[in-house]
Structure 1
Amino acid sequence: MNIAWKEMKKNKMRFTILGSIVFLVSLLTFIISGLANGLSQDNAALIKDLPNGLFLMTKDAAETYNLSRIDKSTQDKMLEKQKDATAFSIQMGFLNDRAGKQRSVAFVTSTDSKYFQHVQKGEVVLDRSMEDEGIKIGDTLTNNQHSGKFIVKGFVDQSKYSHAPVAYISNEDYKEIYRVNEMQLIFVPGGDSTQVSAGLQSFSKKEFLNTISSYKAEQMSLNMIVWFLVVISGMLFAIFFYMMNVQKMGLYGILKAIGVKTSALFKMMWTQMVFITVIALGLSVLLSQGFNMIAPKGMPFSLTSETTVQLSIVFLIIGFIGATLSGIQIKKVEPLQAIQQGEV
């Protein structure tokens, strides 16, 4: 332990450079992870905020909910069998405000359920982001495919789909706009796939989210960047400690010759790795959480404490692995041979 501290004091610049790189890489990882989580909420908060359960659509829809049409008899059987189940539909569209400005929304309608907003014919409940854009309760909105008008009855938090605010409307209004009589999906909270009716295909919440092409592509790209940065941090540790170990072969030979065990040398290296990583992660966590609090309201950024802790643990594990792999050469050091080579 004392040897580890003495070496770090002697080579402050080397360890400061490594710590700075780890800090920058981890900070970038936290920021991108926050963006991934934020975009995930902005893209599918409507689905993500539902409890775990089954999402059912017709098999011939080929895992594309837009093509799913569940006939009334099948729907009634499922809703009767599963008391908490609800049938719902989602479709992208737009609403016009009084000034004639078109606002993109995701129309949602459902059977009576505590998981979705219930509205009467001619009413609409909007995501709160529409309130920030100047829409108020009591305002009248229109749609070109609808003969009547929509009166804004209220707002709900965190209700978005495909990066558009959700607009909850009645079944009658939805049928008039899209000229359909069937619902697209059935949600069964905590459902059992063995009770699914013939002709329907079931998906867990995670599986259903991955059927949404925009969500899957977006999250896959961002998560790939996050893990790529994590791997880079591990390689940095491996390369740094490898170069340090090459330069210290003579020192290791002397230490082994006077009776210092290989395990003690590994502990010295692990101590240095943990010290650097903890300081770098601590600074990056503080900055990323600070950014999480001051990020602009319209920016899709969400970095939870759970995600931060998970990534921090991953960084520590990757750093440990990288440092350990670089230290394999320590185990092979022969005291006499290393001393003869001399310390570079």
Structure 2
Amino acid sequence: MNIAWKEIKKNKVRFLILGSIVFLVSLLTFIISGLANGLSQDNAALIKDLPKGQFYMNKDAEETYNLSKIDSDIQKEILNKQKDAVAFSIQMGFLNDKDDKQQGVAFVTSSDSKLFKNVKQGEVILDSSLKDKGIKVGDTLTNNQFSGEFIVKDFVDQKKYSHSPVAYINMENYKEIFRVKEMQLVFIPGEDSSKEFTGLQSFSNEDFLNTIPSYNAEQMSLNMIVWFLVIISGMLFAIFFYMMNVQKIGLYGILKAIGIKTSKLFKMIWTQMLFITIIALIISISLSQVFNMIAPEGMPFHLTFKITAQLSIVFLIIGFIGATLSGIQIKKIEPLQAIQQGEA
């Protein structure tokens, strides 16, 4: 520990450069993770907020939820047997506000359930983002395919689907707008995934999210960038300590000659890695949380403590691996030969 600290003080600039790079890479990683999670919420908060369970859609729909139709007899059987089960449908559409301006929404309707908002005919409950469009409780909204009008009953927070605000409407109104009789999906909350029903295909929460158009491609691209940045940080540690070790072959030879064990030299490298990484992470986490608080309201940025903690642990593990790989050459150093080469 003492040797590691002395070397950091002796080579302040080198370690400061490495720490700065790790700080910038980790900060960029946290920012992109926040954007990825924010976009995920903006794309599918309606589904992500549901408890763990199983989604069911018609097998003939080929994993395309808006082509699915649940047979009414099967739906009735499931809802009667499964106490907490709910049948629901989602369809993209629009509402005309009081100024006759179209507002894109995701219409959602369901059977009676605590998992979804249930409304009376002629009423609608909207995602709170539509408040920014000037819509208020009590406003009258219309739809070109609906013969009546919708009265805004209430607003809910963070209910989005496919980057559109959700509009909860009554099942009968939904059927009139989209000229359908059947629901698209059935959801059964609970961890048991063994239930099978004739003609239906089941999906876990994560599997169902991947059936949403654009969700999988969007998240895969952003997550790939995150992991690419994490790998880069590991490579930085490996290259930095490798170059440092090459310059100190003579010093390591002398230390080995006076009885310093190889394990102690590794501990020195690990101590330096931890010191640099922890300081860089503390600064980058602080700045990313500040950004989380001051990010513009319209920006889909959501960085949770859980994601921050997970990425921090990954950075430490990757840094440890990188520093360890760079130190493998220390094991091969022969004291006499290293001393003869001289200390760089």
Report the TM range for the smaller structure's normalisation.
Answer: over 0.9
In 1: Cα distance, 2:103 partner to 2:317 partner: 47
Q: How does 1:1-344 map to 2 (within 5 A)?
A: 1-190=1-190, 192-344=192-344
Distance in 2 between the 1:77 and 1:239 partners? 63
Give distance in 1, aligned partners of 2:196 and 2:105: 31
What one-letter code is carried by the residue in structure 2 that aligns with 1:308? Answer: T
Instruction: List 4+ stretches of structure 1 deviating above 4 A.
Output: none
SS in 1 for 2:210: helix
CA offset digits 1:62-89 (Å, max 9, x no partner): 1110110011101000101101100000
What is the deviation of 1:191?
A: 5.7
Normalising by structure 2, we get a TM-score of 0.99
State how far apart, in whole Å, the 2-side matches of 1:317 and 1:170 are. 51
* Alpha-carbon distance in 2 for matches of 1:162, 1:304: 21
CA RMSD of aligned residues (A): 0.8
Which whole-Å CA distance do the structure 2 matches of 1:218 and 1:81 have between them? Answer: 37
Q: State the alpha-carbon separation in 2 of the partners of residues 191 and 145 from structure 1.
A: 39
The Cα of 1:294 is off from its aligned counterpart by 1.2
Give, as a single letter, the amino acid of the residue that structure 2 aligns with 1:172. Answer: E
Distance between the aligned counterparts of 2:302 and 2:75, measured in 1?
Answer: 36
Aligned residues with identical type, % of pairs = 78
Letter in 2 for 1:318: I
Give deviations 1:108-129, integer Å, cap 9, x for gaps: 0000000000111111000011
User: Letter of the aligned partner of 1:115 in structure 2?
Assistant: L
**Following the alignment from structure 2 to structure 1, what is the Cα–Cα distance between the partners of residues 274 and 194?**
49
Deviation at 1:321, TM superposition (A): 0.2
Task: Name the CA distance, whole Å, in 2 between partners of 1:101 and 1:310.
Answer: 44
Q: Deviations over 1:266-321 (max 9, x none)?
A: 00010000000000000000000111111111110000011101100000000000
Q: Which digits, 9 at most, give the CA deviation of each residue in 1:121-166, with x for residues without a partner?
A: 1110000111122110000111111111111000011110000000
Shift of 1:100: 1.4
Q: Distance in 2 between matches of 1:157 and 1:5?
A: 50
Once the two structures are superposed, residues 244-285 of structure 1 have per-residue CA deviations (whole angstroms, 9 ceiling, x without a partner) of 000000000000001000001000010000000000000000
Q: Distance in 1 between matches of 2:129 and 2:230?
A: 34
Q: CA deviation at 1:211?
A: 1.3
State the AA in 2 paired with 1:205: N
Q: Distance in 2 between matches of 1:10 and 1:119?
A: 70
Cα distance in 1 for partners of 2:235, 2:244 equals 14
Q: Which amino acid aligns with 2:276?
A: I
**Residues of 2 paired with 1:89 and 1:15: CA distance?**
57
Query: For 2:174 and 2:211, how far apart are their aligned partners in 1?
Result: 23
Letter in 2 for 1:228: F
The DSSP-based 3-state class of the residue aligned with 2:109 is strand
Matched residue type, 1:186: V
